[in-house]
Amino acid sequence: MSTYTLSFAHLYGDLMNTYGDYGNFIAFNYYAKKIGVQTEYHLVSLDDKFDAEAFDFALFGGGQDYEESIVAEDLKYKVDDIKDYIENNGPLLAICGGFQLLGHYIEMADGSKVDGISVMDHYTTNMYQDNLTVLKGQRLTGNIVIKNNDTHEEYHGFENHQGRTFLGKDERALGTVISGNGNNGMDKTEGVIYKNVYGSYFHGPIFTRNGNLAKRLLVTSLERKYPGIDWHSQLEAIETESF
């Protein structure tokens, strides 16, 4: 029997769960199971403590504006733990609203501003900003393809967001936009990589359609918890779903 178990935190999984974000967990779990690794799912929601030591992987999905503003209030009590987790190289996938909330602030469609937790250096304006030269006043919606600059892997997904995110100086993009709009429609960046945090606007969800990325974060999580085992070649033997 397997003795390897990854503890999975779903941040606000009951509130931030639009457009199949949960599918990222399904895919992560699918590849883990194939190599005999168990996963333990934990919902971390309003008023719950996020114990930075307790988790091997975290997912933070997107939500509707109302839920996002409630979550933003609650996040203030989790900032230190989330920062610890990130700075200690905890693997985290943040999609859409989750990605936005890790940065400095978010400007909602109605112009109101919601505080992020500034554990990362990006910020998000709304679609009406004067400096927008692309699709001002419109949601960025449609199929998107990007290329990761380190691995040259292509990722496929669907983007659907009004917010325009601009990366900070210590952040690099998850990929360069090949087709579609990405973070803001202007600078060809999509998503973010900072330490072991991967942020993206991709629905799809990103792990289901990009098995190579799911496997990469699975390996990262496993190596962090169970070093000295060749997880990579074990996963290599499993067919990668990519479409």
Residues in contact with Zn ion by CB under 5 A are: 62, 96, 160-161
How far the first Cα of the chain sits from its last, in Å, is 33
Least distance (Å) from other proteins to the CB of residue 15? 7
Least distance (Å) from other proteins to the CB of residue 179? 14
Q: Please list, in sequence order, all residues whose beta carbon lies within 8 angstroms of the beta carbon of residue 180, skipping any fewer than 6 positions away.
A: 140, 142, 143, 144, 145, 146, 159, 190
Phi and psi (nearest 5°) for 178? -95, -45
Closest to other proteins by CB, 110 vs 150, is: 110
- Residue 62 contact partner, candidates Zn ion, other proteins, none, CB within 5 to 8 A by sort of partner: Zn ion
Closest to other proteins by CB, 53 vs 77, is: 77
Q: Pick from 105, 102, 129: which is nearest to 194 by CA?
A: 102
Rounded distance, CA 109 to CA 202, Å?
19
Q: Pick from 224, 179, 69: which is nearest to 216 by CA?
A: 224
CA distance readout (Å), 195 to 59, 126, 187, 198, 201: 15, 27, 22, 8, 18
CA dihedral 141, 17, 208, 163 (to 10 degrees): 30
Least distance (Å) from other proteins to the CB of residue 69? 9
Q: Is 122 a catalytic residue?
A: no
- Residue 215 contact partner, candidates Zn ion, other proteins, none, CB within 5 to 8 A by sort of partner: none
- Residue 135 contact partner, candidates other proteins, Zn ion, none, CB within 5 to 8 A by sort of partner: none
Closest to other proteins by CB, 163 vs 194, is: 163
Choice among 10, 96, 104, 161 that is catalytic:
96
192: β partners: 199
Least distance (Å) from other proteins to the CB of residue 121? 28
Closest to Zn ion by CB, 62 vs 191, is: 62
Residues engaged in binding other proteins (CB under 8 A): 10, 13-15, 17-23, 26-27, 30, 43, 45-46, 64-67, 70, 141-143, 158, 160, 203-205, 208-209, 241, 243
Which active-site residues does the annotation give? Answer: 96, 203
